Structures are given as C-alpha cells and as structure tokens.
Structure 1
C-alpha cells in the first residue's frame, strides 16, 4: 500500500523543478486511485461523497489536485487524495459500492505529477500535445499526449497539472524543461 512507504522515497524524480519562462515542478507523491465504474452504478455518487468529493462531469475535475476527482472516460475516474489517505479512501469506496460492479485500484506509485505555473504556462503545455490550451477552462481535464506518451492535463489556479506514468517521468520532465527554457517562448 502507498501509505506504508515513506512518502519522500516514492517521488519519481525527487521533487525535480525547473525555472524558465514558466516554472515546472514535480509535485509527487500524491495519492491516486483509479476507479472503474459506469456512471449509473448504484452508490457511485455516495462513494464520491464518502470521500468529501463530488462526482465529476465529463472532462472535468472536482476539488483540487490535493483532493479531487477527475473524469477520465465514460467508466473511469481518477481520485486524488493525500498520499497517506489512500487505504482509507479505498475502504470507503469498497463500502459505498459494495454489491455494485466496480474496480478501485491504488495507482499512486505508478504515476508522476507535474505542475506548470506562470503567466506563459499554457505555452509549455501547448507544445507537447494536441490540446487547445487557450480554450481549456479552469478544472477542465483532457486526456491526451505529452509528445509520445499518454498524459492527463487540467487547468487549475495559476497553471496546469499534468499526470503521466511514472516510468516516463524523466522523459516528461525533459520535455517540460525544454519547452519552458528561456528563449523557447512562442511568438
């Protein structure tokens, strides 16, 4: 379980950061649960409520990166909680969805999370994938790509949050660093 390990030891890049025309930083570790359940599953709204969260609408994230829930697909949600609270959140979900078809899995240690902040943070994100950053509303989530790897991105106060697989964290940090380097601004 995620909370059984020293939280500092699971950060993929040790809290790496870069300051260019935008600030890029790894913000892990973060507790993450992948919940697979169809929207009409009995108890789904109650399951989110048991965590103090609202069931997110399509392409939205409710709450914040510190504690929130994002819509990932018609039957998949990403639940964000403090790293030490994953076990309790899984237990709450299991109780609230007991008897309903679902799957809840701790994916905390399988993901890396980055924040891109600053006035020109959108330029960094725009360079990496086919996301219309200018039209991305606050708390709007997009599943897309960061160059050649799968990623989820959402706009949040002061910038963007990007989640990718842990196995490609160094690659994504390199992409973000190159995209945010001084002199690499878009015209």
Structure 2
C-alpha cells in the first residue's frame, strides 16, 4: 500500500509573507438540504460544528465545516479520519437525499502568514479584503484557477485549490509574496 503524500511535499517560501503548502487534510464534500435536522445532526457529529451560514466557516479544533453553496458543505477533518468521517456521514444521512464524497486527495491546502498576508491574496483574488469578516470563507479564483480561502488566524489565511494545479498555485503565492512586491510598503 502506498503512503499518502501532499502534492508539493511541504514546499514553502518566505518573502514579505510566508507561504507554504500545509500538507494533507481530510476534506469531504457533503451535498443535500442544509436546513434539514438530519444534516445539522450529522455535521455536528462529524465535525463538532453547526452547519455554517452562507459564506461562513465554523471551526472546532482540528475540524471545520465551510459553506460552499446553498446545498454544499466542505467538512474538514484530520487526513487519517476522512474515511471514517465519510462512513459516519453516510450512516447519519441514510434516507435523506444527499451526496458525501471524500475529496481529500483531490485538493491542496496552503497557508499565507504574516502581517502583510492579505497583500499576497489581494494580487490574485477579486475580493474586497476591506469587507472580509472573521469566519468568512470566499469561494473565488486565484489568478486563473478555482480556490477558496478564509482568515485562519490573526495574521494567517488558508487557501484550498485543486491538487492538479498545486504547483501553479504555489508559484502564484511565491511570486506574489516576494520581498519588494508589497502593495503597501512600510
């Protein structure tokens, strides 16, 4: 049996902000009626969070649930817990119209850290960072590829993209964070 590895082996770059591939993360797409009692109970049991409101992410320790669309959530758990979480969600949603899919190996996760971390993403994503609230997730694009991101710490953002474009995304983040490329120089 082969060992799971991240797309870029933990690649990182330090410029005016530090960017890094965050490693493996269990990610499960859950589709269905987000307002149903069964869905709310299943998500709470799987991730320890409520079903988030539109464009929000709920975080509970090393687990999280992100709103992705009116009928879609992204449940995040430790990588090694993904298969068991899928089984638990399937069991909890039996009899409900739903879809549960483990997408862990189809996604890559990156962190952007530092006081000027927003400037890295400002160059890549068509988002008004002045209105980005704590706990808000944005499903958008980073240059030419689909991405989602949220503020995951005081000076940190987490970005999720498709694994097939991980090298491209890391290249974008590296170039966008190079020293001397700040949008608002000190």
Q: Normalised by the size of structure 1, how large is the TM-score?
A: 0.93
SS in 1 for 2:80: helix
1:71 equivalent to 2:32? Answer no
**Residue 177 and residue 64 in structure 1: after superposition, are their counterparts in 2 closer, same or farther (change >3 A)?**
farther
Q: Conserved in 2, the CA contact under 8 Å of 1:122 and 1:134?
A: no
Deviation sequence 1:115-171 (CA, Å, 0-9, x none):
001000000011101111222112210000000000001112131111000010000
In structure 2, what is the equivalent of residue 96 of structure 1?
92
Deviation sequence 1:54-93 (CA, Å, 0-9, x none):
2111100001683100000000100100000011111111
In structure 1, what is the equivalent of residue 105 of structure 2?
109
Q: Conserved in 1, the CA contact under 8 Å of 2:39 and 2:93?
A: yes
Q: Conserved in 2, the CA contact under 8 Å of 1:24 and 1:176?
A: yes
Deviation sequence 1:87-113 (CA, Å, 0-9, x none):
111111111111000000000000010
Q: Normalised by the size of structure 2, how large is the TM-score?
A: 0.93
Q: Conserved in 2, the CA contact under 8 Å of 1:35 and 1:78?
A: yes
Equivalent-residue separation in structure 2 for 1:64 and 1:148 (angstroms):
31
1:33 equivalent to 2:25? Answer no
Q: CA RMSD in A?
A: 1.4
Equivalent-residue separation in structure 1 for 2:51 and 2:125 (angstroms):
27
**Residue 136 and residue 64 in structure 1: after superposition, are their counterparts in 2 closer, same or farther (change >3 A)?**
farther
Q: State the 1:41 CA deviation.
A: 3.4
Alignment gaps of 5+ in structure 2: none
1:6 equivalent to 2:31? Answer no
Equivalent-residue separation in structure 2 for 1:64 and 1:26 (angstroms):
22
Q: After the TM superposition, which parts of structure 1 deviate over 2 Å for at least 4 consecutive aligned residues?
A: 4-7
Equivalent-residue separation in structure 2 for 1:64 and 1:109 (angstroms):
22
In structure 2, what is the equivalent of residue 180 of structure 1?
177
1:134 equivalent to 2:157? Answer no
In structure 2, what is the equivalent of residue 166 of structure 1?
163
Alignment gaps of 5+ in structure 1: none
Equivalent-residue separation in structure 2 for 1:66 and 1:125 (angstroms):
24
**Residue 123 and residue 176 in structure 1: after superposition, are their counterparts in 2 closer, same or farther (change >3 A)?**
same
Which region of structure 1 is more displaced relative to structure 2, 77-86 or 64-73?
64-73
**Residue 138 and residue 78 in structure 1: after superposition, are their counterparts in 2 closer, same or farther (change >3 A)?**
same
